Amino acid sequence: MIRCRPVSPFVLVLMLTACSGGGSSVSGSASETAGSSSGLSSLWERVKSLGIETGKTYEMPALGIMADAFMSDTNSRHVAPDAIPQLVMQRREGGIPRFDQAIDGLIEPTRKDVAAVPPAELAQITPLDATHMVYAGPIVVAMQPRKGWEVDAMKPAPIPAALDTPFFRAHRQPSTYDEDVHVRYMEMLAISAIYTNTVFGMIDEKMGTARLADPDAARQQVLTAFQAISAPMLKAALADAARQVSGGNFSTDLTGSGNIHFTHTPAGDFVADPRGLTWTKAGGIWFGDGRINGQTVNLRLASTSSLSQRQAQSGTQGTNADAKVEGTGNVGPGK
Protein backbone atom coordinates (compact mmCIF):
# COMPACT_ATOMS: atom_id res chain seq x y z
CA MET A 1 0.00 0.00 0.00
CA ILE A 2 1.20 3.45 -0.84
CA ARG A 3 0.94 5.92 2.02
CA CYS A 4 -0.03 9.46 1.03
CA ARG A 5 1.42 12.50 2.73
CA PRO A 6 -0.71 15.66 3.10
CA VAL A 7 -0.09 17.93 0.18
CA SER A 8 -1.49 20.99 -1.43
CA PRO A 9 -4.95 20.66 -3.04
CA PHE A 10 -3.39 21.73 -6.34
CA VAL A 11 -1.89 18.25 -6.79
CA LEU A 12 -4.53 16.35 -4.87
CA VAL A 13 -6.15 14.91 -7.94
CA LEU A 14 -2.92 13.25 -9.11
CA MET A 15 -2.27 11.69 -5.75
CA LEU A 16 -5.81 10.35 -5.52
CA THR A 17 -5.29 8.60 -8.81
CA ALA A 18 -2.12 6.95 -7.58
CA CYS A 19 -3.70 5.91 -4.31
CA SER A 20 -6.71 4.32 -6.06
CA GLY A 21 -4.53 2.19 -8.28
CA GLY A 22 -6.38 3.56 -11.30
CA GLY A 23 -9.46 1.43 -10.65
CA SER A 24 -12.25 3.51 -9.16
CA SER A 25 -13.66 6.92 -9.85
CA VAL A 26 -12.96 9.51 -7.32
CA SER A 27 -14.24 13.03 -7.19
CA GLY A 28 -13.01 15.59 -4.72
CA SER A 29 -13.13 19.22 -3.97
CA ALA A 30 -11.21 21.29 -1.50
CA SER A 31 -11.22 24.89 -0.49
CA GLU A 32 -8.92 26.68 1.90
CA THR A 33 -9.07 30.23 3.09
CA ALA A 34 -6.49 31.84 5.31
CA GLY A 35 -6.70 35.34 6.65
CA SER A 36 -4.65 37.55 8.84
CA SER A 37 -5.61 41.02 9.93
CA SER A 38 -4.07 43.28 12.47
CA GLY A 39 -4.63 46.89 13.06
CA LEU A 40 -3.54 49.67 15.36
CA SER A 41 -5.35 52.91 15.64
CA SER A 42 -4.49 55.50 18.20
CA LEU A 43 -5.61 58.98 18.99
CA TRP A 44 -4.06 60.78 21.89
CA GLU A 45 -3.69 64.26 23.21
CA ARG A 46 -1.25 65.56 25.73
CA VAL A 47 -1.60 68.76 27.63
CA LYS A 48 1.58 69.63 29.49
CA SER A 49 2.57 72.61 31.60
CA LEU A 50 6.31 73.00 31.59
CA GLY A 51 7.93 72.22 34.90
CA ILE A 52 4.94 70.45 36.44
CA GLU A 53 5.71 67.16 38.09
CA THR A 54 3.35 65.35 40.40
CA GLY A 55 4.28 65.75 44.01
CA LYS A 56 6.94 68.39 43.44
CA THR A 57 6.60 71.81 45.06
CA TYR A 58 8.59 74.93 44.27
CA GLU A 59 9.02 78.04 46.38
CA MET A 60 9.41 81.53 44.99
CA PRO A 61 9.87 84.83 46.89
CA ALA A 62 6.46 86.27 47.74
CA LEU A 63 7.77 89.83 47.57
CA GLY A 64 8.81 89.47 43.94
CA ILE A 65 5.56 87.84 42.83
CA MET A 66 3.46 90.41 44.70
CA ALA A 67 5.42 93.30 43.24
CA ASP A 68 5.15 91.83 39.75
CA ALA A 69 1.39 91.41 40.15
CA PHE A 70 0.85 95.09 40.93
CA MET A 71 3.32 96.34 38.33
CA SER A 72 1.71 94.15 35.65
CA ASP A 73 -1.77 95.32 36.63
CA THR A 74 -0.67 98.96 36.40
CA ASN A 75 0.85 98.34 32.97
CA SER A 76 -2.35 96.66 31.76
CA ARG A 77 -4.21 99.87 32.56
CA HIS A 78 -1.59 101.85 30.63
CA VAL A 79 -0.55 103.84 33.68
CA ALA A 80 3.12 104.81 33.72
CA PRO A 81 4.76 104.02 37.09
CA ASP A 82 6.10 107.57 37.40
CA ALA A 83 2.63 109.04 36.83
CA ILE A 84 1.69 108.59 40.48
CA PRO A 85 4.66 110.59 41.88
CA GLN A 86 3.97 113.31 39.33
CA LEU A 87 0.33 113.56 40.42
CA VAL A 88 0.91 113.58 44.17
CA MET A 89 3.93 115.90 44.06
CA GLN A 90 2.02 118.73 42.38
CA ARG A 91 1.97 121.92 44.38
CA ARG A 92 -1.46 123.05 45.43
CA GLU A 93 -2.75 125.96 47.45
CA GLY A 94 -0.95 125.74 50.74
CA GLY A 95 1.91 123.67 49.31
CA ILE A 96 2.33 120.01 48.43
CA PRO A 97 -0.04 117.80 50.46
CA ARG A 98 1.23 114.88 52.47
CA PHE A 99 1.37 111.68 50.44
CA ASP A 100 -1.56 109.89 52.10
CA GLN A 101 -3.78 112.95 51.68
CA ALA A 102 -2.82 113.27 48.04
CA ILE A 103 -3.63 109.59 47.43
CA ASP A 104 -7.06 109.92 49.05
CA GLY A 105 -7.72 112.89 46.79
CA LEU A 106 -7.32 110.69 43.70
CA ILE A 107 -10.16 108.31 44.56
CA GLU A 108 -13.13 110.32 43.29
CA PRO A 109 -11.49 111.35 39.96
CA THR A 110 -10.51 107.72 39.40
CA ARG A 111 -14.06 106.55 40.07
CA LYS A 112 -15.34 108.91 37.41
CA ASP A 113 -12.79 107.68 34.90
CA VAL A 114 -13.56 104.03 35.64
CA ALA A 115 -17.32 104.62 35.37
CA ALA A 116 -16.81 105.55 31.71
CA VAL A 117 -15.33 102.12 30.92
CA PRO A 118 -17.79 99.28 30.15
CA PRO A 119 -17.74 96.76 33.01
CA ALA A 120 -17.04 93.81 30.69
CA GLU A 121 -14.05 95.58 29.20
CA LEU A 122 -12.75 96.64 32.61
CA ALA A 123 -13.03 93.07 33.93
CA GLN A 124 -10.70 91.90 31.16
CA ILE A 125 -8.11 94.50 32.15
CA THR A 126 -8.00 94.32 35.95
CA PRO A 127 -9.83 92.68 38.87
CA LEU A 128 -9.55 95.89 40.93
CA ASP A 129 -12.23 98.50 41.44
CA ALA A 130 -11.50 102.23 41.34
CA THR A 131 -10.73 102.58 45.05
CA HIS A 132 -8.34 99.65 45.06
CA MET A 133 -6.65 100.99 41.93
CA VAL A 134 -5.82 104.15 43.85
CA TYR A 135 -4.64 102.29 46.96
CA ALA A 136 -2.42 100.17 44.71
CA GLY A 137 -0.57 103.38 43.80
CA PRO A 138 1.74 103.49 46.85
CA ILE A 139 2.69 99.86 46.17
CA VAL A 140 3.79 100.80 42.65
CA VAL A 141 5.78 103.71 44.11
CA ALA A 142 7.49 101.36 46.58
CA MET A 143 8.37 98.67 44.04
CA GLN A 144 9.30 100.90 41.09
CA PRO A 145 13.00 100.56 40.16
CA ARG A 146 14.93 103.80 40.65
CA LYS A 147 18.40 105.05 39.87
CA GLY A 148 19.24 108.40 41.39
CA TRP A 149 17.14 111.20 42.79
CA GLU A 150 14.17 112.43 40.77
CA VAL A 151 14.16 115.80 42.55
CA ASP A 152 16.90 118.23 43.40
CA ALA A 153 18.01 117.01 46.81
CA MET A 154 21.00 119.33 47.20
CA LYS A 155 20.30 122.18 49.56
CA PRO A 156 22.15 125.30 48.35
CA ALA A 157 25.18 126.15 50.39
CA PRO A 158 25.19 129.55 52.05
CA ILE A 159 27.21 132.23 50.26
CA PRO A 160 30.44 133.04 52.09
CA ALA A 161 30.63 136.64 53.18
CA ALA A 162 33.72 137.18 51.04
CA LEU A 163 31.79 136.19 47.90
CA ASP A 164 28.56 137.93 48.72
CA THR A 165 29.15 140.69 46.20
CA PRO A 166 26.88 142.15 43.52
CA PHE A 167 29.05 140.64 40.78
CA PHE A 168 28.98 137.15 42.32
CA ARG A 169 25.24 137.28 42.92
CA ALA A 170 24.63 138.46 39.34
CA HIS A 171 26.61 135.61 37.78
CA ARG A 172 25.71 132.80 40.13
CA GLN A 173 23.31 130.23 38.71
CA PRO A 174 19.94 130.40 40.47
CA SER A 175 19.24 127.42 42.67
CA THR A 176 16.46 125.02 41.70
CA TYR A 177 16.33 123.46 45.12
CA ASP A 178 12.89 123.34 46.74
CA GLU A 179 12.99 122.14 50.32
CA ASP A 180 9.26 121.40 50.36
CA VAL A 181 9.57 119.13 47.29
CA HIS A 182 12.60 117.40 48.79
CA VAL A 183 10.90 116.62 52.10
CA ARG A 184 7.63 115.56 50.50
CA TYR A 185 9.50 113.29 48.12
CA MET A 186 11.24 111.48 50.98
CA GLU A 187 7.92 111.29 52.83
CA MET A 188 6.32 109.71 49.77
CA LEU A 189 8.96 106.98 49.53
CA ALA A 190 9.01 106.25 53.25
CA ILE A 191 5.21 106.11 53.54
CA SER A 192 5.01 103.86 50.47
CA ALA A 193 7.52 101.39 51.90
CA ILE A 194 5.81 101.18 55.30
CA TYR A 195 2.32 100.92 53.77
CA THR A 196 3.35 98.28 51.22
CA ASN A 197 4.93 96.17 53.94
CA THR A 198 1.65 96.23 55.86
CA VAL A 199 -0.48 95.42 52.79
CA PHE A 200 1.79 92.59 51.65
CA GLY A 201 1.50 91.10 55.13
CA MET A 202 -2.30 91.18 54.81
CA ILE A 203 -2.17 89.59 51.36
CA ASP A 204 0.14 86.84 52.57
CA GLU A 205 -2.25 86.06 55.40
CA LYS A 206 -5.23 85.87 53.04
CA MET A 207 -3.42 83.63 50.56
CA GLY A 208 -2.56 81.08 53.23
CA THR A 209 -0.33 78.10 52.52
CA ALA A 210 -2.19 76.44 49.64
CA ARG A 211 -0.03 75.38 46.71
CA LEU A 212 -0.67 77.49 43.61
CA ALA A 213 -0.40 76.26 40.03
CA ASP A 214 2.25 78.61 38.67
CA PRO A 215 3.39 82.29 38.81
CA ASP A 216 0.43 83.40 36.70
CA ALA A 217 -2.00 81.87 39.18
CA ALA A 218 -0.03 83.38 42.06
CA ARG A 219 -0.17 86.88 40.59
CA GLN A 220 -3.92 86.56 40.02
CA GLN A 221 -4.40 85.37 43.59
CA VAL A 222 -2.37 88.32 44.90
CA LEU A 223 -4.70 90.81 43.21
CA THR A 224 -7.77 88.87 44.33
CA ALA A 225 -6.55 88.95 47.93
CA PHE A 226 -5.82 92.67 47.67
CA GLN A 227 -9.32 93.36 46.31
CA ALA A 228 -10.72 91.46 49.32
CA ILE A 229 -9.09 93.93 51.75
CA SER A 230 -11.67 96.56 52.59
CA ALA A 231 -11.09 100.18 51.57
CA PRO A 232 -11.27 101.43 55.20
CA MET A 233 -8.47 99.02 56.15
CA LEU A 234 -6.28 100.25 53.29
CA LYS A 235 -7.00 103.87 54.20
CA ALA A 236 -6.09 103.17 57.84
CA ALA A 237 -2.86 101.40 56.80
CA LEU A 238 -1.82 104.37 54.65
CA ALA A 239 -2.66 106.88 57.39
CA ASP A 240 -0.71 104.84 59.95
CA ALA A 241 2.34 104.77 57.65
CA ALA A 242 2.10 108.56 57.26
CA ARG A 243 1.96 109.07 61.01
CA GLN A 244 5.23 107.19 61.41
CA VAL A 245 7.12 109.71 59.27
CA SER A 246 5.10 112.90 59.71
CA GLY A 247 7.22 113.84 62.70
CA GLY A 248 10.89 113.33 63.33
CA ASN A 249 13.76 114.36 61.10
CA PHE A 250 14.98 113.39 57.63
CA SER A 251 18.66 113.13 56.85
CA THR A 252 19.70 112.85 53.19
CA ASP A 253 22.74 110.86 52.12
CA LEU A 254 24.37 112.53 49.10
CA THR A 255 27.71 110.73 49.18
CA GLY A 256 27.42 109.72 45.54
CA SER A 257 26.20 106.12 45.78
CA GLY A 258 23.99 106.69 42.74
CA ASN A 259 20.89 105.54 44.65
CA ILE A 260 18.35 107.35 46.76
CA HIS A 261 19.34 107.04 50.39
CA PHE A 262 17.91 108.86 53.39
CA THR A 263 17.24 108.23 57.05
CA HIS A 264 14.26 109.16 59.14
CA THR A 265 14.45 109.36 62.89
CA PRO A 266 12.80 107.30 64.34
CA ALA A 267 11.25 105.38 61.36
CA GLY A 268 14.51 103.98 60.01
CA ASP A 269 16.72 103.90 56.91
CA PHE A 270 15.39 103.91 53.36
CA VAL A 271 17.12 103.08 50.07
CA ALA A 272 15.52 103.27 46.62
CA ASP A 273 17.46 101.54 43.85
CA PRO A 274 16.78 99.21 40.90
CA ARG A 275 15.33 96.65 43.34
CA GLY A 276 12.69 99.06 44.59
CA LEU A 277 12.53 100.38 48.15
CA THR A 278 14.33 98.74 51.06
CA TRP A 279 13.39 99.71 54.59
CA THR A 280 15.80 98.94 57.42
CA LYS A 281 14.95 99.37 61.08
CA ALA A 282 16.07 97.91 64.39
CA GLY A 283 19.31 96.73 62.86
CA GLY A 284 17.81 94.59 60.10
CA ILE A 285 15.97 94.76 56.78
CA TRP A 286 12.30 95.03 57.58
CA PHE A 287 10.94 95.38 54.05
CA GLY A 288 12.48 94.82 50.62
CA ASP A 289 15.26 92.57 49.39
CA GLY A 290 12.88 89.60 49.64
CA ARG A 291 11.58 90.40 53.14
CA ILE A 292 8.14 91.25 54.46
CA ASN A 293 7.87 92.23 58.14
CA GLY A 294 11.51 91.27 58.51
CA GLN A 295 10.96 87.70 57.33
CA THR A 296 11.72 85.90 54.08
CA VAL A 297 8.33 84.79 52.78
CA ASN A 298 7.91 82.29 49.94
CA LEU A 299 4.89 81.11 47.97
CA ARG A 300 4.42 77.42 47.21
CA LEU A 301 3.97 76.67 43.52
CA ALA A 302 3.40 73.50 41.54
CA SER A 303 5.37 74.95 38.63
CA THR A 304 7.95 77.67 38.20
CA SER A 305 6.91 78.34 34.62
CA SER A 306 3.80 80.13 33.46
CA LEU A 307 4.27 79.01 29.87
CA SER A 308 1.92 76.24 28.82
CA GLN A 309 2.34 74.06 25.83
CA ARG A 310 -0.42 72.12 24.23
CA GLN A 311 0.72 69.25 22.15
CA ALA A 312 -1.69 67.14 20.21
CA GLN A 313 -0.84 64.26 17.95
CA SER A 314 -3.06 61.76 16.19
CA GLY A 315 -2.34 58.96 13.79
CA THR A 316 -3.28 55.51 12.59
CA GLN A 317 -1.15 52.54 11.84
CA GLY A 318 -2.35 49.26 10.36
CA THR A 319 -1.41 46.10 8.48
CA ASN A 320 -3.71 43.79 6.61
CA ALA A 321 -2.87 40.46 4.98
CA ASP A 322 -5.30 38.09 3.28
CA ALA A 323 -4.65 34.74 1.57
CA LYS A 324 -7.25 32.56 -0.12
CA VAL A 325 -6.72 29.20 -1.82
CA GLU A 326 -9.41 27.28 -3.70
CA GLY A 327 -9.17 24.05 -5.68
CA THR A 328 -11.39 21.36 -7.27
CA GLY A 329 -10.60 17.94 -8.65
CA ASN A 330 -12.55 15.32 -10.58
CA VAL A 331 -11.42 11.82 -11.52
CA GLY A 332 -13.55 9.72 -13.84
CA PRO A 333 -13.53 5.97 -14.40
CA GLY A 334 -10.18 4.53 -15.29
CA LYS A 335 -9.58 3.56 -18.83
The whole-number average pLDDT for the span 228-251 is 95
Do 198 and 111 belong to one domain? Answer: yes
The whole-number average pLDDT for the span 266-295 is 94
The whole-number average pLDDT for the span 11-29 is 47
Do 102 and 192 belong to one domain? Answer: yes
What is the pLDDT, as a whole number, of residue 55? 63
Greater pLDDT, 260 or 18: 260
Do 262 and 193 belong to one domain? Answer: yes
pLDDT band, residue 30 (cuts 50/70/90)? low
Is 47 inside any structural domain? Answer: no
High-pLDDT (> 90) share of the chain, %? 50
Do 184 and 220 belong to one domain? Answer: yes
Is 27 inside any structural domain? Answer: yes
Do 135 and 262 belong to one domain? Answer: yes
Do 130 and 189 belong to one domain? Answer: yes
pLDDT in tens, 114-169: 999 999 999 999 999 999 999 999 999 999 999 889 888 888 767 777 777 887 77
Do 129 and 183 belong to one domain? Answer: yes
Structural domain boundaries enclosing 283: 57-152+179-301
Do 143 and 289 belong to one domain? Answer: yes
pLDDT in tens, 166-195: 877 777 777 788 889 999 999 999 999 999
* CA distance between the termini of the chain: 21
Is 43 inside any structural domain? Answer: no
Asked if residue 52 has pLDDT above 70, the reply is no
Do 85 and 193 belong to one domain? Answer: yes
Do 332 and 252 belong to one domain? Answer: no
Do 30 and 115 belong to one domain? Answer: no
Count of the separate structural domains present in the chain? 2
Do 14 and 138 belong to one domain? Answer: no
What is the pLDDT, as a whole number, of residue 282? 86
Is 295 inside any structural domain? Answer: yes
